[in-house]
Each structure stands twice: as C-alpha cells, then as structure tokens.
Amino acid sequence: MIPQLPLALRWPRRQRFEHFHAGANAAALAAVQALALQAAAPWVYLHGAAGSGRSHLLMAACQAASAAGRQVQYLPLATVVDRPAALRGVAGSELLALDDLGAIAGNRDAEHALFDLYNRARAEGSALLFAADATPAALGIELSDLRSRLGACTQFALKPLDDAERRAVLKAQAASRGIELDDSVLDWLFARHTRDLGALLDLLDKLDVASLAAQRRITIPFLRGFLREAAS
C-alpha cells in the first residue's frame, strides 16, 4: 500500500510550482502544470539527474491538482518496500505521480504491476506522471510492452540550473527577506556547500533566522561560524 502522510506534510511548502525555477525547463513545467489541472492533457515522463527538479515537479503537480479538487497520490518507488503491492494497490486517483521509476527496473512483478496500472489508468481516464533518472529505453525495464507504453508519454529531459542561475535565485530570495548576499559570500558558499538548490534555499531559511537572532549581516565569518556550529 502507498504510505499516507498527514495532510499538512504531504506536499512540502517549497515543493510548489511557484517555487520551481524553470531555467531551461520551461516546456516541462508547462506540460506538468497542464497535466495537474486538465484531465485530457498528455501524460508526462520526466528524466534527469539528481537535483534537476524531478520530485519537486511531481509534488507540485499533486499539490496543484489536490487544490483544484482532484484525487491525487504520490508514490516514491525508491522508498517503498513492496513495490508490486504498492502499484497494484493504487486506486481512485485522478492523478498519480510515480517517482524514481528506476527502482522497479528488473523486478518482474513490479514491472507487470506497473504495466497493468498503466492500462487500468488509461481505461479509467486517470492521469499518470512519471519521473526517473533515465529515459524509458535506458532505464533497464525488461518488459518490452512497458517500455513501449512509457516511451509513448511526452518526455522531457530536465536540466539542473547552472551556477549563475542558482546564484540569481539565492540573491532574489535573500533580497525578498531584506538580506543582501555579497558575491564574495556566494563564492565562499558555492566552494564549500552542496549546490543543490533546495538545500541552498533551506540553508538560507536557517541563516535568515540566525542572522536576525544575532543581529548580524551574513558575511563570510558569520557563515563560516554558522556552518561549523551546524556540523558539530
């Protein structure tokens, strides 16, 4: 069965369409938004490296569809223990978002369960949204009919934001809070911290609170001390 989260925790605050910085992924964003809100929109298959925004878009689609009154489910296959049972147990969703699709590659029962789910969703008029780290052809799916079905979806290769785009997002988010981030601070941060945008924005949240509490600007010494204390 799909693990159910409390409603307040189901769609994280930052995983919304308005918080997705599209960069080169504007067409993918538009297609996922259409699928979230329009019953007849084409099914979408997203693929890209970690940090490219796959899970963000899936959860944003679920949040937007739920807010519009649609029944939705999000299934993170990488964290599900009994994947065949989870796939067979899906029922009643108008939109189902399947994340980390590569987790079922080579699992015969899970592949057949997804094949059956795909056909059932088509027959019932439900919508499926897929995300993986590779294309259907390169994912390692052994069931040829399933590869064919997945390949028939509208596919988008997601591209992570480059460093210049990440810096621009951080500066804009900081400015919206009244924080000025100097280029030297960003240079220091990018040389020593993960460049995943979600992690950087989470760090900005914490720095905002800490700098207000200390009544100090975010400088390199302040940032160095904050990260040292956080790691201890």
User: What residue type is assigned to position 23 of the chain?
Assistant: G
Last-in-domain residue among 125, 157, 189: 157
Specify if 111 maps to a domain: yes
Domain that holds residue 176: 163-231
Specify if 1 maps to a domain: no
Nearest CA-CA partner of 115 in 74, 155, 143, 73: 143
The structure tokens listed for 114 are 């997804």
Rg (CA), the chain: 20
Q: Clarify whether residues 96 and 198 are in a common domain.
A: no
Nearest CA-CA partner of 222 in 230, 213, 212, 211: 211
Last-in-domain residue among 132, 157, 182: 157
The pLDDT assigned to 196 comes to: 79
The pLDDT assigned to 23 comes to: 87
Q: Clarify whether residues 110 and 215 are in a common domain.
A: no
Number of domains in the chain: 2
Cα separation, 204 vs 140, in Å, equals: 38
Q: Clarify whether residues 49 and 100 are in a common domain.
A: yes
Range list of β-strands (E), the chain: 44-47, 72-76, 95-99, 127-132, 154-157
The pLDDT assigned to 100 comes to: 96
The pLDDT assigned to 12 comes to: 63
Token pair 């796959």: residue: 54
- Alpha carbon separation from 15 to 18, 20, 60, 129 (Å, rounded): 8, 7, 5, 16
pTM: 0.82
pLDDT per position in the chain (232 positions), as tens? 444 433 334 566 777 898 888 889 999 999 999 999 998 999 999 999 888 889 999 999 999 999 999 999 999 999 999 999 999 998 889 999 999 999 999 999 999 999 999 999 999 999 999 999 999 999 999 999 999 999 999 999 999 888 888 898 889 888 888 888 899 999 999 988 887 777 888 889 899 999 999 999 999 999 999 998 888 7
Last-in-domain residue among 126, 157, 188: 157
